[in-house]
Structure 1
Amino acid sequence: MKVLRTVAATGACGIAVAGLAACEPTAGGLDSAAVAVTTDRTATATLERLTFDVAWLSCTATVNRGASPSGATAAPGSAAVDCQGETESGQNITIKGKVTDERAGRCVRGDLTARIDRKVVFQATMLGDCSAVPRTTAPRTTAPTATVPPRPGPTVTETVTVTAVPAK
């Protein structure tokens, strides 16, 4: 049953993230989908390092565009993060805060507070490894080890019509 809940929560999160990523432009270099996914991954890893068995965790992020709903100016280039989840033993997990930097799925920086059953379990200004070299999906460009014989080029066929003039 726990596996089914985890799969359902993961699927719902994936659909929500895909929808957000498809229509939201970046602001100050932050993308809400990237912030949400990276916060989810790094917070789960941190909670598990602190010996909490995370059954599921789902995060959302809203990138601030310079004004809050109350009309006050918010810091552009930051994202409000809200995560909800549950431990394997059924305790509620909440993580809330602000993210000011997200690095290639490896880390988030900002001000985040995690609670399990309303008790603070960590407060962090950074989650993940911000010093790690980002992974690239670009193909490696290495010289071939053996020489390949050249292939013949395309063949061009030219048709010429010749009219013979009879000799006199």
Structure 2
Amino acid sequence: MAAVAAAALGAVACQPVDGQLSTVAVSLTTDRKGTDALEKKGVEVQWLSCTSSFGEGGATPRTRTKSPSVRNVATVDCEGETKDGRAITLTGKVTEERGGACVRGDLTAKVEKKTVLRADVLGNCADAKPSVRPPGNGVRPTVTVTKTVTVYPPTCDCRPGK
């Protein structure tokens, strides 16, 4: 039940604002695609959990800044564990997130402080849909043309005897 609620929250919160990155989308996509990349490298991931923020020094997404570029680079920090109990970290900067399919940036994964992965892309960006969706979650209104005709009764002289 909690997973369903988290997924629903993620689906709503992942929408970027004005083409900017979303910390939730960056965290979720880095978690999923980072796990996939580590497993392809032979690391058996028990769990991985990621957070992200904007700005230097761990500023929160609510922090206002005069520099628009700060909102276009997210710092991501993931912690986890292998199936045999070794510590995993995945950290770096993310400059692009594409619809849950990939993240781009400068990312480094370590197991027990030994670098096992350096990547500028996690996932497959080639087939990814853009993160920005049209209003209404992509649902387009149906156009219906209605023609109204008013029919008046025929005019008649309805006086009695006529």
TM-score (norm 2): 0.65
Q: Distance in 2 between matches of 1:131 and 1:158?
A: 62
Q: Distance in 1 between matches of 2:117 and 2:159?
A: 99
Cα distance change of structure 1 residues 74 and 166 upon mapping to structure 2, 3 Å threshold: closer
Unaligned ranges ≥5, structure 2: 60-64, 140-146
Q: CA deviation at 1:138?
A: 5.9
Structure 1 letter corresponding to 2:106: D
1:47 pairs with 2:38? yes
Name the counterpart of 2:118.
123
Which residue of 145, 156, 165 maps to 2:159? 165
Q: Distance in 1 between matches of 2:158 and 2:80?
A: 90
Q: CA deviation at 1:19?
A: 9.7
Name the counterpart of 1:95.
90
The number of equivalent residue pairs is 142
Q: CA deviation at 1:125?
A: 1.5
Q: Distance in 2 between matches of 1:26 and 1:116?
A: 34
Q: Deviations over 1:18-61 (max 9, x none)?
A: 39918x86365211111111111111011000111111111111
Equivalent position SS for 2:43: coil
Unaligned ranges ≥5, structure 1: 1-6, 140-152
TM-score (norm 1): 0.63
1:18 pairs with 2:10? yes
Cα distance change of structure 1 residues 33 and 103 upon mapping to structure 2, 3 Å threshold: same
Q: Distance in 1 between matches of 2:77 and 2:8?
A: 14
Q: Which structure is larger by alpha-carbon Rg, 1 or 2?
A: 1
Name the counterpart of 1:59.
50
Q: Is the 8 A contact 2:99 2:128 kept in 1?
A: no
Q: Distance in 2 between matches of 1:125 and 1:18?
A: 24
Structure 2 letter corresponding to 1:29: Q
Which has the bigger relative contact order, CA under 8 A and spacing at least 6?
2
Q: Distance in 1 between matches of 2:160 and 2:57?
A: 94
Q: Distance in 1 between matches of 2:157 and 2:106?
A: 88
Q: Distance in 2 between matches of 1:20 and 1:29?
A: 15
Q: Is the 8 A contact 2:21 2:96 kept in 1?
A: yes
Q: How does 1:65-104 map to 2 (within 5 A)?
A: 75-76=69-70, 77-104=72-99
Q: RMSD of the alignment, in Å?
A: 4.1
Q: Distance in 2 between matches of 1:46 and 1:16?
A: 25
Name the counterpart of 2:105.
110
Q: Distance in 1 between matches of 2:84 and 2:51?
A: 23
